[in-house]
Amino acid sequence: MTAVEVPPRVVGTRLRRREDPALLTGEARFVADLTVPGTLHAAIVRSPVAHARIRSVDLAPALALPGVVAAYTGEDLQGDWAATLPCAWPVTADMKSPAHRPLAVGTVNYVGDAVAVVLAESEYAAHDAAEAVVVDYDPLAAVLDLEDAASDRVLVHEDLGTNVSYTWELSPDPDAVERAFAEAAHTVSGRYVQQRLLPSAMEPRGVLVVPHPFGGDFTVYSATQIPHILRVMLAVTVGVPETSLRVVAPSVGGGFGSKLNVYAEEALALALARKTRKPVRWIEERSEQAVSTIHGRGQIQHIDLAADAGGRITAVRVRLLADMGAYLQLVTPGVPLLGAFLYTGVYDVGAYSFSCTSVFTTKTPTDAYRGAGRPEATYAIERAIDALAREMDLDPAEIRRRNFIPADRFPYDSVAGLVFDSGNYVAALDRCLEIAGYEELRADQARRREEGDPRQIGLGLSSYVEMCGLAPSRVLASLNYSAGGWEAATVRVLPTGKVQVVTGTSPHGQGHETSWSMIAADRLGISPGDVEVLHSDTAVAPYGMDTYGSRSLAVGGTAVYLATERVIDKARRIAAHQLEAAEEDVRLVAGQFQVQGSPDRAMPLAAVAFEAFTAHNLPEGMEPNLEASSHFDPPNFTFPFGTHLAVVEVDTETGAARLLRYVAVDDCGNQINPLIVEGQVHGGIVQGAAQALWEEASYDDDGNLVSTTLADYLVPSAAEVPTFETDSTVTPSPTNPMGVKGVGEAGTIAAAPAVMNAIVDALSTHGVSDIDMPASPQRICRAIQEVRP
């Protein structure tokens, strides 16, 4: 046998995604595509008022309609719950958390709060019936403004006695902060409002619960990011043994955190399937989603910077007021904490204090939305450092350079208590400025200013670091999170040499099937096409912590890597035994186990797998089959970083801001598939830019959400954004063997401050120093007019 040619490594290549053909041809099945004969369709009656006592609910008009099978109020289902809906993150021991039932009992606490449910034989009949239910409300005052909520003037939940859920502080050395501010040559302060956002995954939520006629088992098909967590939580909430629940996330059309939850409708569908012994299906409508799916952001941020005469930041002080909404959903209270460690950004800062007060309002609950805490933190520090640059008349690039954590200081102990794994911040900035042609852009800006052009341009930088790869379980424990942060993988080589990877991550657009197959194939020296990836079904992949927080690759991908290594170790022992060689002399080269020095003594992986399968001739004491698992719990977070630059043209007459160019240089460590990495960055940029320019979940004075449709909630289209200029630097993470970091949230974290810094930069000669997001034409126009003498 001659030596085989070594195939090129597949990791690092732009392999086209294996997920695509099914999605491109309509073969992929989302929850709404699944049909089971005899299914009952659920529609929810929702509160049209922000805060009220429920006087009465009259289901009779709904029950009288054709095709209607049943209808229930919250009172009717009181006995169907084993527990209230879960919040898994009690951030403090004395955190206040109201009882959250799948259907409201007694009072409603936000517009959209579920009041009753109807079941009908068709979707149309269910909707007609929901319209026919008559609810009599006794209105209470709405609680909308965060500062007003904190004052406890009107209580959202009377039984809690306060609207403050918790106050959480991180202040390692308060005296040092005091001292730094007392001695500062420059200080700047900002009050930034993180408006509420609707995550707006293109696929609305949906759930189908199919009861099995014998044994009391249920299969739950849900548009969820977290089938594993959902299974545990539904078992606890609805009182069904975990062993009787199978949760499947079929094709899921995006999540961005909004499907990282345990929702009332999921619990309802399960309880009603149990009650009626029929399949129950609920599909969310877009205008319903605006109130029934969690919102993102919703914070008021106060940030103060102290700096020395050279513009070096000596202290950062942050106070947050965070909007929980009416209830605590799965990780609602933890979101501000995910940002708490990053308000010093990419800068070498010696003193830091942070406090967060989180309050209830009569609005839809907030929870993790793409970035969850980290975009907010990055926004505050990046806006504030630009303010410091203006105060000192320094270029924003220059002030960043003066403050970056130097590349030779990694691993870096941050003042907030983290260890940043690796980084080279100045390299990303330099590359970004080079691609952009920063000096020419500044010259264009100067020319337009000189000419008094009504169309001014602004340059906005944003240098960020994020913590991803959630996460070391011990660190999560120290933050009172109720679960771990490990991830599971199993790798099996089947008798024919094909490989199965079972992962506990649950993709919904990220391309895990492609990337995980690349990781396994790369180690095994086979084609990724010979690797199948099984996921998102608790019957197939029983262990997992699912997909959120840019954790999947750094934690789940690493588990795949480690399981593959274990499989290779076992295969090597089998091959050595078969080839009658010493184990340490056998190497895996291009899918063949070869005896070092005699390449004609070799066994392909498939042959080893077949030996493992037949178990006719295995080393003494070895178990049959070629399979191994890994449960990887990372020793640290990973810390991706980068610098983005937005070039925005502002029409100073109309207030219109247009994104002219956008340059992004990101460093997510080693890349498995650059095609997928770039895609994540592109999409993230638009979501971040959308917060800056278009999107806002607006409430009126009565607590009605006004932007309930995609006609009012302005998710941008292709016509509103430019083609992006992206590049990357590569600083591997020492935290995991592949040196990967994660990239799912980078664009979103960086983009909002870049765009807002650009707008403020464009208008700085007009005297404008701050504009709230979204920077709508009206807001920009007003800002210009307000400072005009």
Partner 1 sequence: MIPAAFDYQRASTLDEAVGLLSANGEDAKLLAGGHSLLPLMRLRLATPALLIDIGRIRELSYVRDEGDRVAIGALTRHRDLEISEALRAHVPILAHVAAQVGDPQVRHRGTIGGSISHGDPASDLPAACLALGATFRAVGPKGERTIAAGDFFRGFLETALAADEVLTEISVPKMDGAGWSFQKFNRRAQDWAIVGVAAVTGANPGVALVNMGMTPLRATAVEEALASGASGAEAASHAADGLDPPSDLNASADYRRHLARVLVRRALEEAAA
Partner 2 sequence: MKVSVRVNGVGHEHEVEPRTLLVHYLRDVVGLTGTNIGCDTSSCGACTVLIGGESVKSCTVLAVQADGADITTIEGLADGDRLHPVQEAFREHHALQCGYCTPGMVMAAVSLLAENPDPTEAEVREGLEGNLCRCTGYHNIVKAILAAARVPAESAAS
Residue 659 sits in the site that holds partner 2 (CB under 8 A): no
CA distances for 500 relative to 10, 58, 491, 532, 563, angstroms: 17, 54, 6, 5, 11
Interface region with partner 1, contact rule CB under 8 A, candidates 127-135, 427-435, 575-583, 626-634 = 127-135
Buried b (16+ CB within 10 A) or exposed e, 488-516: bbbbbbbeebbbbbbbbbbbbbbbbbbbb
Binding mask 142-171 for partner 2 (x = CB under 8 A): ------------------------------
127 touches which of partner 1, partner 2, none (CB within 5 to 8 A by kind)? partner 1
What one-character-per-residue DSSP string does 372-423 give? TTHHHHHHHHHHHHHHHHHHHT--HHHHHHHHBPPGGG-SEE-TTS-EE---
Q: Which of 209, 351, 225, 325 has the alpha carbon at shortest distance from 267? A: 209
Q: Please state, in angstroms and rounded to a whole number, the distance separating the CA atoms of residues 259 and 223.
A: 7
Residue 717 sits in the site that holds partner 2 (CB under 8 A): yes
HEC assignment per residue over 465-501: ECCECCCCHHHHHHCCCCCCCCEEEEEEECCCCCEEE
29 touches which of partner 2, partner 1, none (CB within 5 to 8 A by kind)? partner 2
Residues 6+ apart with CB under 8 A from 478: none
756 touches which of partner 2, partner 1, none (CB within 5 to 8 A by kind)? none
Residues 633-692 interacting with partner 1 (rule: CB under 8 A):
653-654, 656
21 touches which of partner 1, partner 2, none (CB within 5 to 8 A by kind)? partner 2
Q: Which of 775, 76, 781 has the alpha carbon at shortest distance from 383? A: 775
Interface region with partner 2, contact rule CB under 8 A, candidates 151-159, 517-525, 671-679, 755-763 = 671-679
Residue 617 or 717 having the CB closest to partner 1: 717
* Dihedral over Cα of 616, 622, 624, 626: its sign: negative
CB atoms within 10 A of CB 702: 14
Residues 6+ apart with CB under 8 A from 124: none
Residues 106-125 interacting with partner 1 (rule: CB under 8 A):
123-124
Residues 6+ apart with CB under 8 A from 268: 42, 44, 77, 102, 103, 114, 117, 282
Interface region with partner 1, contact rule CB under 8 A, candidates 166-174, 362-370, 444-452, 714-722 = 714-722
Give the nearest distance from C-beta 264 to partner 2 in angstroms. Answer: 20
Q: Please state, in angstroms and rounded to a whole number, the distance separating the CA atoms of residues 251 and 224.
A: 9
Helix (H) or strand (E) holding 234: helix 227-238
Helix (H) or strand (E) holding 223: none
Residue 182 or 711 having the CB closest to partner 2: 711
Residue 776 sits in the site that holds partner 1 (CB under 8 A): yes
Q: Please state, in angstroms and rounded to a whole number, the distance separating the CA atoms of residues 565 and 577.
A: 18
Residue 243 or 654 having the CB closest to partner 1: 654
Residue 706 sits in the site that holds partner 1 (CB under 8 A): yes
Residue 283 or 488 having the CB closest to partner 1: 283
The residue behind tokens 């109130």 is: 291
Residue 9 sits in the site that holds partner 2 (CB under 8 A): no
Residue 78 sits in the site that holds partner 1 (CB under 8 A): no
Type of residue numbered 89:
W
Q: Which of 8, 700, 761 has the alpha carbon at shortest distance from 396? A: 761
Q: Are 159 and 98 in contact (CB under 8 A)?
A: yes
Residue 252 or 415 having the CB closest to partner 2: 252
Residue 627 sits in the site that holds partner 2 (CB under 8 A): no
Residue 37 sits in the site that holds partner 2 (CB under 8 A): no
Residue 103 or 775 having the CB closest to partner 1: 775
Give the nearest distance from C-beta 194 to partner 1 in angstroms. Answer: 19
Q: Please state, in angstroms and rounded to a whole number, the distance separating the CA atoms of residues 684 and 407.
A: 26
Q: Binding partner 2 by CB under 8 A: which of 61, 239, 254, 599?
A: 254
782 touches which of partner 1, partner 2, none (CB within 5 to 8 A by kind)? partner 1
Q: Are 222 and 31 in contact (CB under 8 A)?
A: yes
Residue 778 sits in the site that holds partner 1 (CB under 8 A): yes
778 touches which of partner 2, partner 1, none (CB within 5 to 8 A by kind)? partner 1
561 touches which of partner 1, partner 2, none (CB within 5 to 8 A by kind)? none
Give the nearest distance from C-beta 404 to partner 2 in angstroms. Answer: 27
66 touches which of partner 2, partner 1, none (CB within 5 to 8 A by kind)? none
Q: Are 373 and 356 in contact (CB under 8 A)?
A: no
698 touches which of partner 1, partner 2, none (CB within 5 to 8 A by kind)? partner 1
Q: Binding partner 1 by CB under 8 A: which of 63, 83, 121, 127?
A: 127
- Residues that bind partner 1 (rule: CB under 8 A) add up to a total of 27
Burial of 145 (0-12, 13-18, 19+ CB in 10 A): middle
Burial of 538 (0-12, 13-18, 19+ CB in 10 A): buried
588 touches which of partner 2, partner 1, none (CB within 5 to 8 A by kind)? none
656 touches which of partner 2, partner 1, none (CB within 5 to 8 A by kind)? partner 1
- Classify residue 525 as left (phi > 0), alpha (psi -120 to 50) or beta: left
Give the nearest distance from C-beta 32 to partner 2 in angstroms. Answer: 7
Q: Binding partner 2 by CB under 8 A: which of 91, 238, 252, 377?
A: 252
Q: Binding partner 1 by CB under 8 A: which of 92, 714, 732, 770?
A: 714
Residue 747 sits in the site that holds partner 2 (CB under 8 A): yes
474 touches which of partner 1, partner 2, none (CB within 5 to 8 A by kind)? none
Q: Which of 631, 671, 640, 418 has the alpha carbon at shortest distance from 549? A: 640
Q: Are 601 and 595 in contact (CB under 8 A)?
A: yes
Phi/psi at 710 (nearest 5 deg)? -75, 0
Residues in a beta bridge with 491: 501, 628
Residue 596 sits in the site that holds partner 2 (CB under 8 A): no
Helix (H) or strand (E) holding 547: none
Phi/psi at 727 (nearest 5 deg)? -155, 175
Interface region with partner 1, contact rule CB under 8 A, candidates 13-21, 29-37, 488-496, 774-782 = 774-782
Residues 266-285 interacting with partner 2 (rule: CB under 8 A):
285
Helix (H) or strand (E) holding 256: none
Residue 287 or 769 having the CB closest to partner 1: 287
Residue 353 sits in the site that holds partner 2 (CB under 8 A): no
Residue 64 sits in the site that holds partner 1 (CB under 8 A): no
Residue 266 sits in the site that holds partner 1 (CB under 8 A): no
Contact residues toward partner 2 (CB under 8 A) are 16-17, 19-30, 32-33, 123-124, 200-204, 251-254, 256, 285-287, 508-511, 675-676, 678-687, 709-711, 715, 717-719, 721, 723-724, 747
Q: Which residues bind partner 1 (CB under 8 A)?
A: 123-124, 127-128, 131, 285, 287, 653-654, 656, 694, 698, 706-707, 709, 711-712, 714, 716-717, 719-720, 776-778, 781-782
